[in-house]
Structure 1
Amino acid sequence: MNEKIKNHVHNILAPYQDVKNVQDLEEELSQNLQEKFTDYKKDGHNEEQAYYMTINSIGDITELIQSINVETKELKQTVPMDFSKTELTKSDFRSVSVYKGKFNASNLNESDFSYADLTDSMFKSSNLTKAIFHQVNLTGVQFKWANFKQASFKGCIYDNTYFKQCNLTDIVFDEETFNGTIFEGTSLKKASFRNATLLNVQFRGSDLKKSDFEGAKMDKLTYNFLKSAKIDLSKVTII
């Protein structure tokens, strides 16, 4: 479990590895968290409970960075991360900021991106089976030839997000808000967009067979794309 904690700390500090003193901070934080984990175990919590209590105790990572006088705005512009061609099964990317990151040809099966900021990142030929995307900033993210089998999406930001030739079959997007999102040549068979809001969304040559838009709200552009695909739009609202 100590190794799992160290890996989590390394992931959340990954965008800052070029910053002076960040490695010392990583070592110190890992040690402190391992001590907390031990204390939680002594209090009677099982390993899984103790682990999540330990991770959740970290708080706002920007405060840690500011403690060593780092301007996070500068880091956002200068430190892109490359995780391409990497085995990352069940990786913990929760609350991590990875700006313009690359996850090309990586195995991210069952990885958790909850509360992460992935602005302008690229996922090309990535395996995202059972991956978790809850409350994730996907602004400008490009997914190309990615497999999302049994992946989970909830409360994400999809501003100008691009899905090209991806497998989104059976994916649930209920109550999500899409703005300028493009689905190109993508399988959306049996996908659910119930009660979702769709603005300037394009479905270029995508397979929408048996997809569900009941209760969705959309603008005329999106409506026309779906109408041309002969989707049942009898229960949608044009806004």
Structure 2
Amino acid sequence: MDKPFITDQSYISKDFTGSKLAKGEYENCVFEGCNFADAYLDNQNFMECEFIDCNLSNANIRHTTFKEVSFSHCKMMGLKFEDCNTFLIDFSFNDCNLNYTSFYGLTLLKQQFISCKMVETDFTEAILKNAVFDSCDLQGAIFGRTDLEKADFRTATNFVIDPEASNLKKARFSKDGIIGLLKKYNLSIEP
């Protein structure tokens, strides 16, 4: 069954918690102030779409395609991005709450996370080469067997990364961020 092709539409302040977003291929659409909390967004295709001030917490995104999708000022707690269709996956996050979200095992080259709250976010076995964590709070974020080659953590805070358990080749850190790399050694570092 072919999905309808929906293009250049705006969805403003819609609540999709009780009624589902129609199955379709959404291109160049804007979702602003919409509530998708605990909703079913599975098997959808979003191409060149924008989500602004939306709540997508705990939404089912199994087999959903996100291609050139931007999320701004969104609440996105508890999402499992590894359940998405990973072919051509491409998204950006600006000022989003990604607490308890999982990117387990994903390949996200040059991924942009800007001013995001990412408490206990799971990056285990992800490939995040050249990723940027600009002004992100990474308290309790999980980095295990993660490829962070050339990743930029210079303005990120509260992260703890074991350099022996992840690839940090040419990754960038501020002097203050070095503490997050030495945590496992239980050192006393004073200013």
Alignment of 1:70-81 (within 5 A): 79-81=12-14
Cα displacement string for residues 119-171 of structure 1 (whole angstroms, at most 9, x for unaligned residues): 111112211123222211211111112222342331x3311122121232112
Which of the numbers 53, 68, 80 marks the counterpart of 1:135?
68
Residue 12 of structure 1 and its aligned partner are, at CA, apart by: 5.1
Which of the numbers 151, 162, 169 marks the counterpart of 1:230?
162
Alignment correspondent of 2:151: 216
Distance 2:140 2:55 in 1: 21
Alignment of 1:17-28 (within 5 A): none
The range that moved more, 208-217 or 80-89, is 80-89
Alignment of 1:88-99 (within 5 A): 91-99=24-32
Alignment correspondent of 2:107: 172
Corresponding residue pairs, total: 168
Distance 1:161 1:171 in 2: 19
Is the 8 Å Cα contact of residues 158 and 179 (structure 1) preserved in structure 2? yes
Alignment of 1:1-239 (within 5 A): 4-5=3-4, 8-9=5-6, 13=9, 15=11, 79-87=12-20, 91-151=24-84, 152=86, 153-154=89-90, 156-219=91-154, 221-222=155-156, 225-226=158-159, 228-231=160-163, 232=166, 233-238=168-173
Distance 1:13 1:210 in 2: 41
**Structure (1/2) with the larger strand percentage:** 2
- Stretches (4+) displaced over 6 A: none
Structure 1 unaligned residues grouped into runs of 5+: 16-78
Output the TM-score relative to the length of structure 1: 0.61
**Structure (1/2) with the larger helix percentage:** 1
What code does the residue aligned with 1:166 have? T
Work out the percentage of aligned pairs sharing the same amino acid: 15
Structure 2 unaligned residues grouped into runs of 5+: 175-191
